[in-house]
Chains A and B, each alone.
Chain A
Amino acid sequence: GAGVSQSPSNKVTEKGKDVELRCDPISGHTALYWYRQSLGQGLEFLIYFQGNSAPDKSGLPSDRFSAERTGGSVSTLTIQRTQQEDSAVYLCASSLRRGNGYTFGSGTRLTVV
């Protein structure tokens, strides 16, 4: 597609439920990143996929968070047993290759009640 697409744009869930957030990167982009932006905070790196390499999961805040990227394209970020502190905007970005700039999606606003 023309840009990075994220769905849903908004998600309200009850504490303890699992949620899945989806990211469709720009076609042909080999690098994909997930970030989290909490109210009043900067962007926090979560996970990075590069081609067929093992993902860099160093930013995942707990084992309740996981992500996969199928076929080198679409990525899904899963949060299990959601907590109120998980409420944030989850942003996905992709990049064509090393050294190129990032293109961000519009994000998914997650609210845990």
Chain B
Amino acid sequence: KQEVTQIPAALSVPEGENLVLNCSFTDSAIYNLQWFRQDPGKGLTSLLLIQSSQREQTSGRLNASLDKSSGRSTLYIAASQPGDSATYLCAVQNSGNTPLVFGKGTRLSVIA
């Protein structure tokens, strides 16, 4: 059974810092991995999708990497801003027809 773990559970950083969020998964035979952002009381916003054949994806100040063999992904946020404050969720899909399995998220606070 696939299990996804995110460390740390919470993180507080001053504005302008670069930071890394970690995600690990127990079954390395994944189909894809997706990072989401969730603001309080809101739904999920997709940030980056990495297919199993890819090693990283970039969007603006965000960069996500994938190391399937070690069962790890990282989300790198450059030059953090208060608006980046949210919960970041990592999720993996074992095949195209199976549901996403989510970690419990990292709650990020960027202090101005």
Contacts and interface: CB of A to CB of B under 8 A. Distances in A.
Are A and B interaction partners?
A: yes
Interface of A: 6, 33, 35, 41-43, 45, 48, 50, 56, 59, 91, 93, 98-107, 109
Contact of A101 (B49, B97, B98): B49
Contacts of A35: 99, 102
B43 A99 contact: no
B51 interface: yes
Given A99-B32, A105-B43, A33 B99 contact: yes
B34 interface: yes
A56 B44 contact: no
Interface residues of B, number: 24
A39 B100 CA distance: 19
Interface string B39-64: 00111111001010000000000000
Q: 6 closest A-B pairs (Cβ-Cβ)?
A: A98-B96, A101-B49, A106-B43, A104-B44, A42-B104, A43-B102
B76 interface: no
Nearest to B32: A99
Given A91-B44, A105-B43, A41 B96 contact: no
A100 to B, nearest CB: 8
Given A42-B102, A99-B51, A107-B43, 5 more contacts: A42-B89, A91-B43, A93-B44, A101-B49, A104-B43
